[in-house]
């Protein structure tokens, strides 16, 4: 396996100084021009390709900021490092408007992969298939919720009665999902850890699971694990692109997929949250 410093040099064309490991898969590497890049190793085939394509697609909207991609291959990705600073209400409000503009940039279809991105992608440590669909309710049920519900059931993480409740929500999705909307350009894994507050007062997004989806999904993901100045983010978003009435009531619906993914990865506690989210839509 090549050393991260060698990978950084390959994709930047600069001489790299000693890499500084941050985790088993991530290192920051200073370059001879004084800049610093992040070098990420992906074990899963296609993961680096998907992340690179996602970052370029998000950045190409001219709305949100993302780190520049220097290059990638099947298992390595090299991007700029983001110099981080404190979160602020002003930055959050601006980010809300930028996120609305990103979503408005659109996608060819629900489930569409970024240009050059693979069909078999990832959301964090889990597989995620980018399969285009014609309408959001049926696509979301078939390609997001139900595959992970089956995995959770097979692993003994959800009980038969609980499976029935989630399946019932999937059947009712056309009535529960609110007014029809066009496919939005989603980050796809928009939890707080993937929102970096830049030292310059601008937000950058990293580690996307980008695809065409419903814009409320990104906002529901932000609410799932919390984010600094979330109220200011939402205010900025709604000033730029008001959400359909009832969107707050639909948050648990959009959280079903990430909760089931977390259940498969991390256990029964998240399965219980997914079931509770489903049952909140049946009340």
Residues that are catalytic? 189
d(CA 228, CA 219): 13
- What stretch of H or E contains 278? helix 268-282
User: Given this model, what pLDDT does residue 86 score?
Assistant: 96
| Number of domains the chain is built from | 1
The answer to the question of residue 252 being in a domain is: yes
Query: What is the CATH number for 145?
Result: 3.90.1200.10
Q: What are the DSSP E strand ranges found in 66-141?
A: 69-72, 76-80, 120-123, 126-129
Residue 247's CB is within 10 A of a number of other CB atoms, namely: 18
The answer to the question of residue 208 being in a domain is: yes
Contact 271, 157 (CB under 8 A): yes
**Domain of 119, in residue numbers:** 82-283
User: Given this model, what pLDDT does residue 182 score?
Assistant: 97
CA atoms within 13 A on the CB side of 62: 1
Ramachandran sector of residue 46 (left: φ over 0; alpha: ψ -120 to 50; beta: rest)? left
Chain segment 188-199, per-residue pLDDT in tens: 999 999 999 999
Three-state SS for 75? coil
User: Given this model, what pLDDT does residue 162 score?
Assistant: 97
The answer to the question of residue 210 being in a domain is: yes
The answer to the question of residue 86 being in a domain is: yes
User: Given this model, what pLDDT does residue 93 score?
Assistant: 98
Q: How many helices (H) and strands (E) does the chain have?
A: 10, 11
The answer to the question of residue 104 being in a domain is: yes
The answer to the question of residue 63 being in a domain is: no
d(CA 57, CA 60): 5
pLDDT in tens, the chain (283 residues): 789 999 999 999 999 988 999 988 999 999 999 999 999 999 887 899 999 999 999 999 999 999 999 999 989 999 999 999 999 999 999 999 999 999 999 999 999 999 999 999 999 889 999 999 989 999 999 999 999 999 999 999 999 999 999 999 999 999 999 999 999 999 999 999 999 999 999 999 999 999 999 999 999 999 999 999 999 999 999 999 999 999 999 999 999 999 999 999 999 999 999 999 999 999 8
User: Given this model, what pLDDT does residue 46 score?
Assistant: 81
The answer to the question of residue 47 being in a domain is: no
The answer to the question of residue 9 being in a domain is: no
Reported residue count of the chain is 283
**Residues 6+ away with beta carbon under 8 Å from 206:** 55, 66, 67, 79, 82, 194, 196
Chain segment 62-77, per-residue pLDDT in tens: 999 999 999 999 899 9
d(CA 192, CA 174): 29
């Amino acid at each position: 396996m090549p050393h991260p410093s060698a990978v950084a040099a390959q994709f930047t064309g600069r001489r790299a100084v000693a890499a500084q490991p941050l985790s088993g898969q991530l290192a920051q590497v200073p370059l001879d021009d004084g800049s610093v890049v992040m070098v990420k190793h992906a074990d899963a085939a296609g993961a680096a390709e998907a992340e690179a394509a996602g970052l370029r697609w998000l950045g190409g909207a001219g709305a949100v900021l993302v780190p520049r991609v220097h290059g990638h291959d099947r298992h390595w990705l090299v991007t700029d490092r983001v110099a981080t600073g404190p979160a602020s209400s002003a930055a959050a409000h601006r980010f809300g408007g930028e996120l609305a503009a990103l979503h408005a940039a659109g996608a060819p279809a629900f489930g569409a992969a970024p240009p050059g991105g693979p069909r078999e992608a990832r959301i964090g440590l889990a597989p995620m298939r980018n399969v285009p669909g014609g309408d959001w309710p049926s696509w979301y049920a078939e390609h997001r919720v139900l595959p992970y519900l089956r995995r959770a059931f097979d692993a003994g993480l959800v009980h038969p009665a609980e499976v029935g409740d989630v399946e019932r929500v999937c059947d009712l999705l056309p009535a529960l999902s609110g007014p029809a909307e066009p496919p939005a350009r989603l980050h796809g894994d928009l939890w707080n850890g993937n929102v970096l507050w830049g030292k310059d007062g601008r937000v950058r997004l990293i580690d996307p699971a980008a695809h065409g989806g419903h814009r409320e999904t990104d906002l529901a993901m932000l609410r799932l694990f919390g984010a600094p100045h979330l109220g200011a983010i939402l205010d900025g978003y709604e000033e730029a692109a008001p959400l359909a009435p009832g969107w707050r009531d639909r948050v648990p619906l959009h959280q079903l997929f990430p909760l089931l993914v977390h259940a498969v990865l991390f256990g029964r506690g998240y399965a219980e949250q997914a079931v509770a989210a489903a049952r909140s839509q049946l009340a």
